Structure formats: structure tokens, C-alpha cells
Amino acid sequence: MSSEIRDEKKVVLITGGGIGIGRATANAFGALGYRVIVTDVLEAEGRAVAAAIEASGGAAEFHLLDVRDSAACNEVVSSVEKRYGAIDTVVANAGIAHKVPLSELTDEKWDLTMDIDLKGAFRIIRAAVPGMKQKRQGSIIAVSSIMGVAYGWDEHAHYSAAKAGVVGLVRGLAVELGRDGIRVNGLAPGFVRTAQALSEQHSLGAAGLDAVGSKIPLGRAGEPEDMADVITFMASEKARYLTGQTVTVDGGLVIQSH
């Protein structure tokens, strides 16, 4: 196909790539020489990430994408594959965490979180897998949370449930896709200094994050780059025998006895 670009760069597609862990992950893959497909509903932020990677000598582009839209997920993947071939790595990172007590947790609010945090990961993965199967290789990393693997979070039951669902998705797909050469893993971040964690309305806020950080064995809250480095490891050949695992990256928080 004349529109296909054959430059031997590996291709990574990241959802929610405009801010936080997604942005740090995009930058990390860009520095490693990947062609980075940044997607997000935040257009200005996503375009800025792609532009920064290109300004640093890397290869990147931005696609506006709402992971609630199956057709849009399919179209972005198809567009990328037509030009660059099968996607090598998918990082399903897009997510929201809205603080809502059970008494106010309507079906609509529950469904919104599930639609983005869990079904959004499923949609982008489903779109990319056929190309990976043809190539007989691929790496998928889905972002869960410490709240989906170890902790409960008051007034965030819908978020915890969705992130626990990501762990199940990882396990099921790892078994189903392993024979096709596709590895599927998850990342469960602890408390990380992102816009979400810094929100006083929906999360800890800056003071709360600092207070929690002082109680973590490594003495601080995580940074987005701490997560990005683990994600790039899981995508790499160094993790070639790792699949079906959700790795908790929390500075040692959950292994404390008190």
C-alpha cells in the first residue's frame, strides 16, 4: 500500500496520553525510538505531547479519541495500521475517577466510569488484536490501580470495581492470546502525583498526597515517570516471558503491616 510507511519503528498506541501517566508513558516510548500514537479526549494536551516528542527528535502523532466510541477506536487503529502496519504495543490508560457516595451513585454515573475505565480498555484492545495476531506478536498493557487490586476507596466503589475488572480482563486475554504471541499485562499504580490525585474534589489533593507519601516505605508519592518506566519494561523484550500479571507499583505501600 503506497500510504504505508516502512521505517522499522515500533508503534505504540496510548489512550489517555495527554496528561499524567499517559503523557509520561508517551515521552518514555518516544525516547526509546517508538512511533508514538497519542490519543485522548483532551485535544490541546494530546497535541502538545506529540509535538514535544517530535521536537525532541522522535516520531509521534495525535488522534482525538473517546474510548467510549467503538467505531472511533476501530477507525484510529485501522488508520495507524494502514500507514505503519500492526501496532506493536497498546497502553490502555484512559480513565476517570469521580468521587460519588453510594447514595448518589446513579446507574448513569456507574456506567460512565465502567464505560471509560474498563470497557474503554476492552474496545481499544479488541481493535488492535487482529493486526497483532497476523504479525504473531504484540504487547498489551492495561492500567488498573492499587484500588483495584488491594485497597477499597470510600465513595469510589465504581472506580474500584472497574479497575478490578481490568485485572480480570488482563488475565482472561493473556490466556486467550498467548498462543498468538501476544502478551497482556497490567499496571496497578499506587498514589501518583497526577492531576487526578491532586484534585481536592475527587481525590486527595496536594496536602493529602504529601501526607500519604510520608507513610509510604520509599518515603514519597509516585511520579508519572515511575509508572512509565515499568510500562516500557513490560512492553520490551526484557519482559518476554511475562504475561497475565498486574504489577503493583506503589513504593511498597501495600506490603506494610500498618
Q: What is the CATH number of the domain that holds 87?
A: 3.40.50.720
Which residues are 77's β-sheet partners? none
Domain count, the chain: 1
- What domain range is 61 assigned to? 11-249
Positions annotated as catalytic residues are 159
> And the C-alpha cell for 31?
525516547
Please, which residues have CB within 8 angstroms of residue 79's CB and are 6 or more apart in sequence? 63
Task: Kindly state whether residue 46 falls inside one of the protein's structural domains.
Answer: yes
Q: Which tens digit of pLDDT belongs to each residue from 7-38?
A: 689 999 999 999 999 999 999 999 999 999 99
pLDDT confidence of residue 2: 41
Query: Which stretch of DSSP H or E encloses residue 102?
Result: none
Positive or negative, the Cα torsion across 59, 71, 174, 41? positive
Average model confidence (pLDDT) for the chain?
93
84 assigned to some structural domain = yes
| 108 located within any domain | yes
pLDDT higher than 70, residue 197: no
Residue 27, domain member (yes or no): yes
Rounded distance, CA 12 to CA 2, Å? 22
The answer to whether position 255 is within a domain reads no
| 169 located within any domain | yes
pTM metric for this prediction:
0.93
Residue 3, domain member (yes or no): no
Which is higher by pLDDT, 141 or 204?
Answer: 141
Beta bridge partners of 143: 187
4 assigned to some structural domain: no
